[in-house]
Structure 1
Amino acid sequence: MKAVVIGGTGLIGRKLVEILSERGHQVNAASPSSGVNAVTGEGLDEAFDGTDVVIDVSNSPSFEDNAVLNFFQTSQKNIAAAEIAAGVKHHVALSIIGTDRLPDNGYFRAKVAQEKLIRDSGIPYTIVHATQFMEFAGGIADFSTKEGNVYLSTGAIQPIAAAEVSEALADAAEAAPVNADTEVAGPERFSMAEFVGQYLAAMGDKRKVIPDPQAPYFGSVIDARSLVPLGEVRLGKITLKQWLDKQAHQVAG
């Protein structure tokens, strides 16, 4: 199988390229630094020539509402046009569980728009919805810090290690298109405050976590159902404690 990973140098993309390569596939890690730019369309035709599957794990450099919407809409339109021209047989995309449940979140609205374009493209597809990555804990804490305290939602989260998301995407790429959404999540459920609180404690970060049901998560108030799987889901195996122990060891080493 010949695969192109759009966003192949990022957190998910690097591991995905590694997994697919180890499984014996020919993989192109496509990114602007390699001359492939989905927003401008540069290099897409050449990259997709003879390609069986395209996996899009790219992300917007800006999370401002209009910028992120433009990124996902423009890049998806360019990718689809190049896929059709090259005869690509399968488009796999990474998205987020709960994109349609938080309309106040501009990033989620942009992902909904991207997903609609994928479904309407006519190209066989699989959309992999994942929960928030464990690797996001530090960023969530920083975004939610005010005057030294971290104000976090009591809404539910089911964080997953990024490596397991990459594995799920690799499996989806190897399988036949399902022309539907699939879901992948971590094995445990916490409140957002508990999740980030455990991360800060493991990292020796002394900031105090203040649980607040009304604390926004990037612009939206979340509840027990907003960001977690509600139906059939593939569960990861790496627990938060296992992941935190590894992060603490790396920091100490």
Structure 2
Amino acid sequence: MSKFAVAGATGRLGRHVVDVLTERRHQVVPMSRATGVDIVTGEGLAEALAGVEVVIDVASWHASEQEAATDFFRTSARNLHEYGRKAGVAQITVASIIGVGNATGGFLAAKKAHEELLLSGPLPVRILRAAQFHEFVGQLLDWQQGDVAYMPALPSQLVACRTVAEELAGLATAPGIPGPPIPEIAGPRKEILAEAAALLGARRGVKVVGVDGSGMPDAEIAAKGAFLPSPHAKLAGPTFQEWLDTQP
């Protein structure tokens, strides 16, 4: 049985990672401000990492502004390496986003910097790039008030957080260091974000109107598929509709 620390353990993806590791009979240390561990200030971090072999980093910034998100990732990456090295951590496994190498602005550009910052540290780092989550669609709707929501009609290969968590746990426990290319996990088929949002909106009594996404960072290249999975990506269900049918 290995001992894992999960940064961002109470978040959208983190809670699934904790569940998967626990089901696989690993010892898990949940790290979040709610558990008294702050990977930005370092509060509680040394204690949390005592005896930990692998850190799984799924902590994220709460907004899309590039500079603030980059600052968060810069500090968290430095602290996980610094405190992890002192604690004898063997590796860091991190969740990233498919297509970040193409990003020029916004949150995706911050996530691209996050990968680079982690890879430049002293501990070995494994990266899993995932498509946008099924759960992200609801967050987009939550950000808009009223009975009408405007959603970008951009392609994605939406994937369930649980599916990503299973793949991330597998990567973290795999023997050896995987070579290139960076592994990817995505849903079973391409979906249009606005169309997926309309399915959820119908359940909430919200009318969803698809828009071209102009004004969003990198919307033009996104429309051409820049953030869709590569040919080597692992594709796994459920589809958005299948996932939605299981939600209360």
**Superposition TM-score, scaled by structure 2 size:** 0.89
Aligned to 2:31: 30
Cα deviation, residue 220, structure 1: 3.6
**Are the counterparts in 2 of residues 119 and 125 from structure 1 also a CA contact under 8 Å?**
yes
1-side partners of 2:179 and 2:58: how far apart? 18
Q: Deviation per CA, 1:186-224, whole angstroms, max 9, x where unpaired?
A: 1111122222122222x1424142x3334444x441213
Aligned to 1:65: 66
The runs of at least 4 consecutive aligned structure 1 residues that moved more than 4 Å come to 142-145
Letter in 2 for 1:199: L
Q: How many residues align?
A: 243
Q: Deviation per CA, 1:52-97, whole angstroms, max 9, x where unpaired?
A: 1000111123433322111110011011111111221121001111
2-side partners of 1:2 and 1:38: how far apart? 18
Letter in 2 for 1:117: L
2-side partners of 1:216 and 1:207: how far apart? 21
**Are the counterparts in 2 of residues 144 and 152 from structure 1 also a CA contact under 8 Å?**
no
**Are the counterparts in 1 of residues 197 and 208 from structure 2 also a CA contact under 8 Å?**
no
Letter in 1 for 2:84: E
Q: Deviation per CA, 1:143-194, whole angstroms, max 9, x where unpaired?
A: 467x854333332111011111111111111113326521110111112222
Cα deviation, residue 8, structure 1: 1.1
Aligned to 2:194: 193
Aligned to 1:207: 207
Cα deviation, residue 47, structure 1: 1.6
Letter in 2 for 1:76: A
Aligned to 1:184: 185
Identity %: 34
- Inter-CA distance 216–232: structure 2 relative to 1 (3 Å threshold): farther
1-side partners of 2:245 and 2:10: how far apart? 25
Cα deviation, residue 139, structure 1: 2.4
Q: Deviation per CA, 1:99-147, whole angstroms, max 9, x where unpaired?
A: 2223122x112111111111111322211111111111122235467x8
- Inter-CA distance 143–34: structure 2 relative to 1 (3 Å threshold): closer
Q: Give the RMSD, CA atoms, in angstroms.
A: 2.0
Q: Any stretches of 5+ residues in structure 1 without a counterpart?
A: none
**Superposition TM-score, scaled by structure 1 size:** 0.88
**Are the counterparts in 2 of residues 152 and 215 from structure 1 also a CA contact under 8 Å?**
no
SS for the counterpart of 2:223 is coil
Letter in 2 for 1:75: S
Aligned to 1:244: 244
**Are the counterparts in 2 of residues 151 and 215 from structure 1 also a CA contact under 8 Å?**
no
